[in-house]
Amino acid sequence: MATITVDVAVPEALRPVVDVAALPAALGDAGSAWLVLSEDGRLARWTPTTGEVRDVARYAEERRASEKSGGVRLRLHVSRCGRWAGVVQDRGRYGTVIDLTTGSPVLELDGRDYCCETVPFAFAFAEHGGRPVVVHRTDWNRLDVTDLASGEVLTARDSPDRDAEDAEHDLDYFHGALSLSPDGTRVYDGGWVWHPWGMPAVWSLTTWLNGNPYESEDGPSYAVYPEVSEWNWPVVWIDDERIAVYDRDAGGGTVHVLDPTSIELRSPGVRWIKAVATFPWPVGDVGFFTDGEHLLIADEAGLKGVDITSGRQVFAIDGFRPTRQDRHTGTLIQVGSTNARLWTPPKWTARAG
């Protein structure tokens, strides 16, 4: 396993960097390309191996995150095709989708402010019928999907009558961070339920957009994993049939490996995602990534490659603590105040989500 990292300078014009997200490499690019959000609202395309920087847009959010928000952090997302960028307020209320070909905002997002300070802004780019769409929170317990080219809401549906007992499609669930399976057909939601308890959920994006707008509430593919106690901890799709989820409780830290294709009916209307492995991992501030085979865990000491079944460490890169990964090349990046460090796994299959 090659574990050699590459160090590059962060161009002064981009500092300080708020966040980065991978872009598809353009013809002639040498290595991965990244969209950089700078503290002054600049959005620029940066190719670390050449140092090339090209401005593409500006971001400005004049709406307050929320009356109750605390610890709001801007998060950058980029569509797989590279045309669209989303800047959202994690632990806040608002977000914006920007067309990078024109530099103009095309969609303003409002997730409402009920308990928004408890979760990252639920947001993910996806594709449907070959067209780019965005999955986004429109209330604490509701997600919608918008077609970016037309602006059409593809999940239009009536909201449940919350005053009615046993209201149909009433979802008592606080949506959290979203991520798509590598093939782009399933949505993972790292949300929670009251009285506060983490409750990861998975459902079919295909079914949601091909006939059942209520799939994200109680559709036949909607399933949960109630065996974690907290939320907002790392998660990563290893492949289409394995999701690694980290949990921390009074007893320590645990990695749960879930199979979203294996569902068990535990009681009427409640479908549980099966766990195929669990193993302990020390409590700490960690990040999860993958090379498509191993779980890659970033902590204060560096990056560790871990066998997904046994939890056995198989390699390490000391001092390398990446924060983002390029879905196109697999490259991981750690961005500091003046320098960045990159590492690309030897084998990688590009993924949709």
* pLDDT per residue as tens digits for the range 43-73: 999 999 999 999 999 999 888 887 776 789 9
Tokens representing 329 are 């090349």
Please tell me the predicted confidence (pLDDT) of residue 161: 58
Mean predicted confidence (pLDDT) in 122-135: 97
Q: Cα(310)–Cα(80) distance, rounded to whole angstroms?
A: 32
Instruction: Answer yes or no: are the C-beta atoms of 74 and 90 closer than 8 Å.
Output: yes
For the cut 70, the answer to whether the pLDDT of residue 154 exceeds it is yes
Between the alpha carbon of residue 10 and those of residues 18, 75, 118, the distances in Å are 12, 19, 32
3-state SS, residue 269: coil
* Structure confidence at residue 266 as a pLDDT band (50, 70, 90): confident
| pLDDT reported for residue 144 | 98
Provide, for the chain, the percentages of residues in helix, strand and coil under a 3-state DSSP scheme, each rounded to the nearest 5: 5, 50, 45
Lookup: tokens for 193? 């339920």
pLDDT at 27: 60
pLDDT of residue 164: 54
Query: Does residue 165 register a pLDDT over 60?
Result: no
How far is residue 145's CA from residue 155's CA, in Å, rounded to a whole number? 6
pLDDT in tens, 175-208: 999 999 999 999 999 999 998 999 999 999 999 9
Q: Which of 67-81, 188-202, 306-320 has the lowest mean pLDDT?
A: 67-81
Q: What integer best gives the mean pLDDT of the chain?
A: 94
The per-residue pLDDT for 159 is 83
Token code pair at residue 340: 């960045």
Which range is least confidently modeled, 148-152, 181-185, 263-267, 319-323?
263-267
Residue 216 phi, psi dihedral angles, 5° rounding: -75, -5
pLDDT for position 138: 98
Q: In this predicted structure, what is the pLDDT of residue 31?
A: 79
Q: Quick one: pLDDT at residue 318?
A: 97
- Residue 118's pLDDT is 96
pLDDT number for residue 214: 97
Quote the CA–CA distance of 142 and 333 in Å, as a whole number: 33
pLDDT value at residue 65 = 80
Long-range contacts of 72-76 (CB under 8 A, 24+ apart): 72/117, 74/18, 74/19, 74/37, 75/19, 75/120, 75/121, 75/123, 76/18, 76/19, 76/20, 76/21, 76/35, 76/37
Which tokens belong to 6?
A: 């590459």
**Predicted pLDDT of residue 28:** 57
Residue 39: pLDDT over 90: yes
